[in-house]
Amino acid sequence: MSRPTDRAIVSTHYPTMRLVLPNPGLEQRIPDYEKVEKLEQQELQGRPKWDNKAQYILTCVGFCIGLGNVWRFPYLCQSHGGVTFPGAFLIPYLILLVLEGTPLLLLEFAIGQRLRKGSVGVWRAINPYLTGLGISSMLVSFLIGLYYNTITAWILWYLFNSFQDPLPWNQCPLNDNKTGYVAECQDSSTVDYFFYRVTLNSSSSIGDSGGIHWPMVVSLLAAWTIIFICCIRGISTAGKAVYVTAVLPYFVLAIFLIRGLTLKGALNGVKFLFTPVVEELINPNTWLDAGAQVFFSFGLAWGGLISFSSYNPLHNNCKNDAIILSVVTAATSVYAAMVTYTIIGFRATAKYDQCIDGNIVTLLNAFDLAENNITHGNYEEAYKHLNSTYPETVMGLDILTCDMQKFLSEGVEGPGLAFIVFTEAIINMPASPAWAVLFFIMLLCLGLSTLIGTFEGVIVPLRDLHVFPKSWPQEVVAGVTFLTAFIITLLFAQHSGFYWVTLFDNFAGSVPLLCIGLFEIVIVVYVYGVDRFNEDIKFMIGSKPGIFWQVTWRFVSPLIILVILIFYLVTQAQGELTYLVWDPSSDNFPSLASVPYPDWVYAVVFLLAGVPSLALPFYALCRVIYNRCNKKNDTQKF
């Protein structure tokens, strides 16, 4: 990489000072170009660094490609209720990825690589009053890490249970008299029952904690120890783990794509995915969710990316990295969505066939017709004929309407989607245990690789904030963090744990990320100074960022994020907050019932969303007050 020739002349005078807030003392806090070059050479022994470029890219890819693509993306598509076309979600997602995701990505990469620190260190170096932003990132990463690892625990539970034939979610247990199946299982389905009853033992409301469910505690223990061993030595172990966790999912997705496309009805699902629907594009909620999903899936504002790029060599080409990562993430999102929807298409077709079969049997039995009289082919005419000749009889029968569109867009709402839809599809494939093991290993890898980045964004700030004594080695710091996290996640092992996970996902993983992203971009552009930033990038990679980056950094990205944030807050504040519960006694069982949150949940929501978002102004305020008090004491001394 060619070094720019003018780096030796470091002047504090930048020719065109646009709108930049006054920031005295910046020069003392950050090393100038000469110093940072020298430090890099000396630092080669002290600071952790990547074994090779591939390890860095794989870690970032693993961080970005996670459960969000396979688990959150499909359920967001269907979370609006009614028939939602996922194609309508894909387009805003891709557009916002380019306008919002990529600029912020380069921003985080470049600032980490230039200032060579984790998220707290970077913002503290820019201005000590802004340390609160690093604290925000750390809190958000921690909260997200908590419930993300709980989902990993669910995945582990399913994985452990996949080593048997027949799979345990293939059959209902018998009731006490042995005359039939358990009512809850009979009314819903075997996969629903296995998820909500056997795995989680869900109570019917978030307030009803119902005690600890031991299988979940065991799974959580497994999940936390696995992530502990991956992070035990920081990136020297994590960097090796990603060779498996980041690469394996692609192979498994390919296998599932091939298997999926050979299944009956898969193409229905793929067609459904790519159907653009104009009405949905106008709906602001779609753009809201897409914007938040870009943040969630890119790992932006989590702090992990800043940390990772700070271990890079000083002249690493971070612009190319940002573009590569964006392209890879976008392509993988579409790829994973395609695989997901072939499976959804297969499941919908299987359900449709079952529905028609059921109706045919009912009709044959009622009218005592020969078995081959009504087939799938002539079902419609036969039904019409019978309905017109014997309308009273037909009305008395239990004929269900079989609507393929309904099955495709069926509200398997909420975080249970991956565990219900996919497991149902898997039991219909031959050699199901093998497919189940493969699928859950893929999910495990996806989850682990993201968690590695998440906890990088927690542990490094904790060290930077001197929460732990400096003498404690990495193993002990990691151990204490994960132990604390395990104890907190026992909250999710309760019978109401599923509702807590949904709560965390809705509030900790949306608003704070948008706030932090907005602050980040505003601070770098207007406090650090976009001109200085451009010079930094020119120093590191040899060329100044082009017009696309300038326009997006200065106007487009902050504006988009601000608009999404405002819309989001407005829509949330307007309605009553509701959530979905698994309640066997509700009217619409087995559909999830929509129930309003109890009042105390609003306090929790404020903790989850408000505290991380407000950490920056709060910390700045505290520091101002503290300094004022100190100054008063100082003046009083004289």
Partner 1 sequence: MLEKLLILLFASNVLAQVCMPDAPEAYKVRLSIKTALGDQAYTWNDNELYLFRATLAFAMRNYLSGQLFDVSNILVCNETERVSFWFMVKSVTNPTTLIEKQHVENAIKESRHRINSAFLLTDQTLEFLGILPTLASPFVPATPPWLIAFGVVMGVVGAGIVYFLVAAVVQRKRKKTLDEEEEAKGATENEIAGENLDGIYNTSFSDDEKVTEM
Asked whether position 161 contacts partner 1 by CB under 8 A, the answer is yes
Asked whether position 474 contacts partner 1 by CB under 8 A, the answer is yes
- Give min distance, CB of 215 to partner 1, in A: 8
Nearer to partner 1 by Cβ, of 37 and 410: the residue is 37
Task: Look up residue 292 and give its two tokens.
Answer: 């938040």
Asked whether position 157 contacts partner 1 by CB under 8 A, the answer is yes
Asked whether position 234 contacts partner 1 by CB under 8 A, the answer is yes
Which range binds partner 1 by CB under 8 A, 4-12, 235-243, 322-330, 551-559? 235-243
Which range binds partner 1 by CB under 8 A, 223-231, 338-346, 417-425, 588-596? 223-231
**Angle at 536 (CA atoms; ends 319, 40), nearest 5 degrees:** 90
Asked whether position 633 contacts partner 1 by CB under 8 A, the answer is no
Asked whether position 240 contacts partner 1 by CB under 8 A, the answer is no
Are 300 and 513 contacting, i.e. CB atoms less than 8 angstroms apart?
Answer: yes
Question: Which contiguous run of DSSP H or E holds residue 596?
Answer: strand 593-596
Asked whether position 373 contacts partner 1 by CB under 8 A, the answer is yes
Residue 369, classed as helix, strand or coil, is coil
Are 302 and 141 contacting, i.e. CB atoms less than 8 angstroms apart?
Answer: yes
Nearer to partner 1 by Cβ, of 587 and 634: the residue is 634
- Give min distance, CB of 127 to partner 1, in A: 9
Q: Which of 4, 128, 358, 610 binds partner 1 (CB under 8 A)?
A: 128
Residue (of 291, 248, 262, 244) closest to 92 by Cα position: 291
Asked whether position 277 contacts partner 1 by CB under 8 A, the answer is no
Q: How far apart are CA 380 and CA 384, in angstroms?
A: 6
Nearer to partner 1 by Cβ, of 170 and 572: the residue is 170
Residue 130 DSSP class: G
Residue (of 450, 445, 412) closest to 155 by Cα position: 445
- Give min distance, CB of 374 to partner 1, in A: 11
Are 296 and 95 contacting, i.e. CB atoms less than 8 angstroms apart?
Answer: no
- Those residues whose C-beta lies under 8 Å from the C-beta of residue 481, and which sit 6 or more positions away, are 455, 458, 459, 462
Q: How many residues bind partner 1 (CB under 8 A)?
A: 66
Are 440 and 162 contacting, i.e. CB atoms less than 8 angstroms apart?
Answer: yes
Residue 410 DSSP class: -
User: x/- binding map, residues 105-124, to partner 1, per CB under 8 A?
Assistant: -----------xx---x---
Asked whether position 178 contacts partner 1 by CB under 8 A, the answer is yes
Residue 219, classed as helix, strand or coil, is helix
Task: Look up residue 159 and give its two tokens.
Answer: 């994985």
Nearer to partner 1 by Cβ, of 470 and 637: the residue is 470
Nearer to partner 1 by Cβ, of 92 and 234: the residue is 234
Asked whether position 179 contacts partner 1 by CB under 8 A, the answer is yes
Asked whether position 171 contacts partner 1 by CB under 8 A, the answer is yes
- Those residues whose C-beta lies under 8 Å from the C-beta of residue 319, and which sit 6 or more positions away, are 106, 110, 537, 541, 545
Are 310 and 118 contacting, i.e. CB atoms less than 8 angstroms apart?
Answer: yes
- Give min distance, CB of 171 to partner 1, in A: 5
**Angle at 565 (CA atoms; ends 560, 571), nearest 5 degrees:** 125
Asked whether position 43 contacts partner 1 by CB under 8 A, the answer is yes
Nearer to partner 1 by Cβ, of 279 and 634: the residue is 634
CA-based torsion, 413, 414, 416, 422: positive or negative: positive
Residues that bind partner 1 (CB under 8 A): 25, 28-29, 31, 39, 42-43, 45-48, 116-117, 121, 125, 128-129, 156-157, 159-161, 163-164, 166, 171-174, 178-181, 218, 221-222, 225-226, 228-229, 232-237, 361, 364-365, 368-373, 459-460, 463-464, 470, 473-475, 477, 623, 627
